[in-house]
Amino acid sequence: MFAQELGFRGVATSNVRDNIAALWYQALRTQLRITRLPFAGLTDRAALFCFEELARDVGMKVRYRVDCVLEQGGRVRHEVTGDLAAVEAARGPGTDESFGRAMAQLVSQQDGRSSRSVAAQKRTGPFGPKNGTALVAWVIA
């Protein structure tokens, strides 16, 4: 849903499940060195961790992130971090597949470049799955 919605909005997308390095070193970094456009994702936290570390090469930061936290009983809670406008905009997305669409709408509207908040930076490292955290939506700008 996330990629589909962004596709409708004319945003270039890429499936990075298996190869973050190829996307970064062979495409994204080169583009970002020329023009620092925001890039966003709906990934696991390990992928975000890698992108955040790599983005230092081009001076870009995580501006906001929406972590899906699985609670007891399978309930999903969304933890929103970053600049206030994005945090407000991200409140209350659905907990089913509409989450991907909601996040796509959010990241295409809030590019984060005006933010000076450090709240979303380096919030965490890679996690295993048993801590109850699943996907995270994010914007690096």
Q: Which residues bind another protein (CB under 8 A)?
A: 18-22, 25-26, 44-47, 49-50, 53-54, 56-57, 59, 61, 116-118, 121-131
CB of 64: closest distance to another protein in angstroms? 13
Q: How far apart are CA 54 and CA 44, in angstroms?
A: 16
Q: Which is nearer to another protein, 53 or 97 (CB)?
A: 53
Inter-residue long-range contacts of 15-22, CB under 8 Å, 24+ positions, other chains counted: 16/41, 16/43, 16/47, 20/47, 20/50, 20/51, 20/54
CB of 6: closest distance to another protein in angstroms? 22
CB of 57: closest distance to another protein in angstroms? 6
> Could you tell me which of 70, 18, 22 has the C-alpha nearest to residue 46?
18
Count other Cβ atoms within 10 Å, centred on residue 55: 20
Q: Which is nearer to another protein, 102 or 140 (CB)?
A: 140
Q: Which is nearer to another protein, 61 or 78 (CB)?
A: 61
With beta carbons less than 8 A apart as the criterion, state whether 109 and 5 touch: no
Q: Which is nearer to another protein, 3 or 50 (CB)?
A: 50
